[in-house]
């Protein structure tokens, strides 16, 4: 007889909400933000909330807090030493940065499964997010995009993939190889199943109350840079971050040929300076 799991080892599934969209031809169930985020949003909207109170709310989730400190220890945030409390983190990098980082960490915890696909997917997503944040920071004058927003957009950008896998079992097949997993031509897979992972990611970003231009960038990250000005810049950052990931991971990078000229112009990088730019971003992310 199979042994029963003790209550301590059972991982509760997150609450979910159902969405429909004409582009999907199906109903999609998206994990809800954890209650901690609702409380955090309420405190952020209240004029009399203190940093200590906000820190206390975040610290009720020990795992999330540990991940937050680990992320703030990365070179991109420029801290001499990692914070010891969430209130200290807020004073060092700002309330908005901490709040957006908490959202990104919570998203990864919410979208999970038993398959080995999930840790592989989130490792890839976090690498691209690190590149995106580094690009936004380095090109902050030209782009005027918060690094934490670039990071969030990169995490939400492809989150529609694992969500769709939870609805369409065969959607995962194109990612599976004899040696592990590979990133296929996802728009082609979308067409096969009459769906769109970018639309699902957009709905997730809206549901999780991301800034509108972040949601728009998630929706259009496979398209040419042809949306409104701020979203266009963020789309260009995401496309460049994917290029850097593909370049340094030796993955297929065929999309970059169509995106390069407009993306580089949008983020303020000259073609002749691209190699130096790539090396600098790679160095900044080496100890992510």
pLDDT digits (tens, 9 = 90+) for 108-119: 999 988 899 999
User: What is the domain range of residue 98?
Assistant: 29-110
- Locate 244 and state its tokens: 């850097």
**Same domain membership, residue 269 and residue 131:** yes
Confidence of residue 265 (pLDDT cuts 50, 70, 90): very high
CA 22 from centre of chain: 24
For residue 276, CA distances in Å to 180, 200, 271, 283 come to 32, 35, 10, 11
Decide which of 110, 132, 150 is a domain's last residue: 110
φ, ψ of residue 85 to 5 degrees: the values are -135, 160
C-alpha to C-alpha distance for 233 and 224, rounded to whole angstroms: 11
pLDDT at 287: 57
152 and 281 in a single domain? The answer is: yes
Residue 270 lies in a domain: yes
User: CA 129, CA 76: separation in Å to the nearest integer?
Assistant: 12
- pLDDT for 83 beyond 80: yes
Instruction: Looking at the structure, tell me whether residues 122 and 256 fall in a common domain.
Output: yes
To the nearest 10°, report the CA torsion of 278, 283, 284, 288.
120
Average pLDDT, the chain: 88
Instruction: Tell me what the mean pLDDT of segment 270-275 comes to.
Output: 95
Least confident among 21-30, 196-205, 213-222: 21-30
For 26-75, write each residue's pLDDT tens digit.
899 999 998 898 888 888 888 788 888 888 999 999 989 998 998 888 77
Q: What is the pLDDT of residues 207-234, one digit of tens each?
A: 998 999 999 999 999 886 665 567 999 9
- In the chain, the number of structural domains is 2
**Residue 274 and residue 137 share a domain:** yes
Instruction: State whether the Cα torsion 230-232-238-244 is positive or negative.
Output: negative
Strand partners, 177: 180
């Amino acid at each position: 007889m199979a042994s029963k799991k003790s209550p301590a080892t059972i991982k509760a599934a997150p609450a979910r909400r159902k969405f429909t969209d004409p582009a999907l031809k199906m109903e999609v169930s998206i994990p809800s933000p954890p209650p901690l985020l609702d409380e955090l949003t309420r405190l952020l909207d209240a004029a009399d909330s203190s940093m200590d109170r906000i820190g206390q709310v975040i610290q009720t989730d020990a795992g999330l807090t540990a991940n937050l400190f680990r992320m703030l220890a990365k070179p991109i945030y420029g801290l001499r030493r990692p914070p010891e409390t969430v209130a200290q983190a807020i004073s060092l990098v700002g309330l908005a940065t901490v709040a957006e980082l908490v959202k990104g960490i919570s998203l990864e915890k919410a979208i999970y499964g038993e398959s080995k696909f999930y840790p592989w997917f989130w490792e890839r997503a976090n690498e691209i997010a690190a590149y995106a944040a580094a690009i936004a920071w380095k090109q902050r004058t030209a782009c005027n995009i918060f690094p934490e927003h670039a990071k969030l957009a990169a995490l939400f950008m492809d989150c529609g993939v694992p969500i769709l896998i939870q609805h369409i079992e065969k959607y995962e097949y194109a990612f599976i190889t004899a040696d592990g997993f590979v990133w296929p031509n996802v728009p082609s897979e979308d067409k096969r199943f009459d769906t769109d992972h970018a639309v699902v990611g957009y709905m997730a970003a809206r549901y999780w109350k991301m800034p509108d231009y972040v949601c728009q960038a998630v929706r259009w990250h496979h398209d040419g840079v042809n949306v409104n000005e701020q979203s266009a810049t963020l789309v260009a950052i995401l496309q460049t971050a994917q290029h850097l990931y593909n370049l340094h991971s030796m993955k297929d990078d065929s999309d970059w040929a169509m995106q390069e000229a407009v993306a580089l112009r949008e983020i303020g990088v000259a073609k002749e300076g691209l190699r130096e730019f790539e090396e600098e971003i790679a160095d900044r992310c080496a100890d992510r």
